[in-house]
């Protein structure tokens, strides 16, 4: 059997940790990757020191800041951006309202793609802009996809400021709302972030059906009601599936 280089083993550890649905222990990584326990502990410590992985409160290994930042930068690669933009523009041509994609970034949602409606009245949220998690369709959708422990940890760190009269700032009420979103798979913003603006979002999933990003549509209430936006959910879900297929097609 050919000797496996240390670089290959390091990359295999990062890959395994990134793909895992739960934090992996050093023993699990050792068994999964067939790496001796002394070696796996040494390599993990090196990765922790460099910020590529970190150890969670339960002792499991999870992606570190450098891996998370790398995932954002890869998502923003021009090839991916342009291909996603084509899908978004087709969606906007069909439903006549602004659509876009947002991903979690630190404690906010960051807009990575946007295709504007040609109609005169628009809400300006450009690519690169950030919005709060607790009162946007994209952010609430993301929070709804988390485990109870992860969600509680993030909610404790959010300021829960009130942006409009509809903003939910009570944690119990917000958790109930997030539970409903988890059941439907549809994020809703009923004038909670910006007055007289409504929004709906659906998840873009990875190949293991885990949350990857939020695909959204928003519009001013003077033109469209929330119920009318909800009628476009099947089209959003089709576009989200196209984006998922695009991501893995380009990876392959």
Whether residue 131 is found in the same domain as residue 95: yes
Whether residue 45 is found in the same domain as residue 121: no
Residues 183, 159, 100, 244: is their CA dihedral positive or negative?
negative
Predicted pLDDT of residue 69: 77
Confidence of residue 155 (pLDDT cuts 50, 70, 90): very high
Query: Residue 27 has which token pair?
Result: 């023993």
Neighbours of 147 (CB within 10 A): 9
CATH number at residue 129: 3.30.450.40
Query: Residue 138 has which token pair?
Result: 């994209």
Predicted pLDDT of residue 166: 98
The model's pLDDT over 97-150, given as tens digits with 9 standing for 90+, comes to 999 999 998 899 999 999 999 988 878 888 889 999 999 999 999 999 998 988
Three-state DSSP at 1 gives: coil
Rounded-to-integer distance, Cα 163 and Cα 157, Å: 17
Whether residue 15 is found in the same domain as residue 38: yes
CATH number at residue 63: 1.10.10.10
The model's pLDDT over 205-246, given as tens digits with 9 standing for 90+, comes to 987 788 989 999 999 999 999 999 999 999 999 999 999 888
Domain assignment present for 41: yes
Whether residue 37 is found in the same domain as residue 150: no
Domain assignment present for 91: yes
Whether residue 175 is found in the same domain as residue 195: yes
Whether residue 61 is found in the same domain as residue 20: yes
pLDDT at 96 over 90: yes
Domain assignment present for 1: no
Whether residue 90 is found in the same domain as residue 57: no
Strands in 59-162 per DSSP E: 61-63, 98-105, 108-115, 130-132
Taking the whole predicted model, whether its pTM rises above 0.85 is answered as: no
Rounded-to-integer distance, Cα 13 and Cα 89, Å: 38
pLDDT at 252 over 60: no
Domain assignment present for 181: yes
Domain assignment present for 49: yes
Predicted pLDDT of residue 1: 46
Whether residue 12 is found in the same domain as residue 132: no
Domain assignment present for 160: yes
Whether residue 122 is found in the same domain as residue 241: yes
Contact 218, 226 (CB under 8 A): no
Whether residue 118 is found in the same domain as residue 237: yes
| Structural domain count of the chain | 2
| Domain final residue, candidates 27, 46, 68 | 68
Give the domain extent around 31.
6-68
The model's pLDDT over 30-69, given as tens digits with 9 standing for 90+, comes to 999 999 999 999 999 999 999 999 998 888 999 888 887 7
Contact 35, 11 (CB under 8 A): no
Confidence of residue 171 (pLDDT cuts 50, 70, 90): very high
Closest CA to 217 of 109, 135, 99: 99
Whether residue 223 is found in the same domain as residue 102: yes
Whether residue 225 is found in the same domain as residue 151: yes
């Amino acid at each position: 059997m050919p000797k496996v280089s240390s670089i290959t083993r390091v990359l295999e550890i990062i890959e395994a940790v990134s793909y895992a649905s739960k934090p992996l222990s050093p023993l699990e990584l050792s068994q999964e990757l067939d790496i001796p326990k002394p070696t796996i502990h040494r390599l993990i410590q090196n990765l922790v020191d460099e910020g590529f992985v970190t150890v969670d409160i339960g002792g499991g290994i999870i992606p570190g800041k450098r891996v998370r930042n790398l995932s954002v930068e890869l998502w923003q690669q021009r090839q991916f951006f342009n291909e996603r933009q084509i899908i978004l523009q087709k969606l906007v041509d069909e439903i006549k309202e602004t659509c876009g994609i947002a991903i979690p970034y630190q404690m906010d949602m960051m807009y990575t793609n946007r295709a504007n409606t040609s109609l005169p009245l628009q809400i300006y949220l450009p690519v690169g802009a950030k919005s709060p998690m607790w009162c946007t369709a994209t952010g609430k959708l993301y929070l709804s996809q988390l485990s109870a422990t992860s969600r509680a940890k993030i909610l404790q760190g959010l300021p829960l400021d009130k942006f409009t009269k509809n903003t939910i700032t009570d944690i119990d009420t917000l958790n109930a709302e997030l539970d409903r979103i988890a059941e439907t798979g549809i994020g809703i913003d009923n004038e909670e972030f910006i007055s007289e603006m409504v929004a709906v979002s659906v998840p873009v999933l990875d190949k293991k059906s885990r949350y990857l990003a939020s695909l959204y549509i928003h519009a001013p209430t003077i033109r469209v009601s929330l119920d009318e936006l909800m009628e476009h959910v099947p089209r959003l879900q089709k576009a989200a599936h196209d984006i998922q297929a695009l991501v893995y097609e380009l990876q392959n």
